[in-house]
Amino acid sequence: MGILRIVPVVLLAAFIAFGPGLMSAATHSPLPTFAAEAAPVGPVTMDWQGILGTAGVTGVLVWYLYYTTSFAFPKVRQDFREELAAQRAHDEETMARRDAQMEKLCTELSSLATQLSRRPCIRVGEGEA
């Protein structure tokens, strides 16, 4: 995994060091050219610099795709799942505690209602004097 971290740095350093000399204004014009103007005049030569540049960029993109799908996204997903499981456990514990408190309150309220039905607080006739 150490080499996967070094490769993009080396490619970037090589591009910075050799990149400006590889591209000249005559061969890489930003203006559109017609087919007749783009045809080579002399013998056909291969543009190794363009091929290497394209292969380098493609290599970096493939490496980035491999790294994100193999290491970065699975780690983020696993961290998210662990945090979500911890939150769910906490929520279930809180709900169980609330249910127990509610059950206790209902029992006490029922007990109070039973006591009041047997012996009411205000008796008729005591308040009249």
The number of domains in the chain is 1
Q: Please report whether residue 81 resides in a domain.
A: yes
90-110 confidence digits (pLDDT tens): 999 999 999 999 999 999 999
Q: Please report whether residue 25 resides in a domain.
A: no
Residue 90 structural domain: 2-19+48-118
45-74 confidence digits (pLDDT tens): 567 787 888 888 899 999 999 999 999 999
Residue 56 makes CB contacts below 8 A (sequence gap 6+) with 11, 14, 15
Q: Please report whether residue 91 resides in a domain.
A: yes
Across the range 80-98, mean pLDDT stands at 96
Q: Please report whether residue 87 resides in a domain.
A: yes
The pLDDT confidence band at residue 129, using thresholds 50, 70 and 90, is very low
Cα separation, 118 vs 17, in Å, equals 96
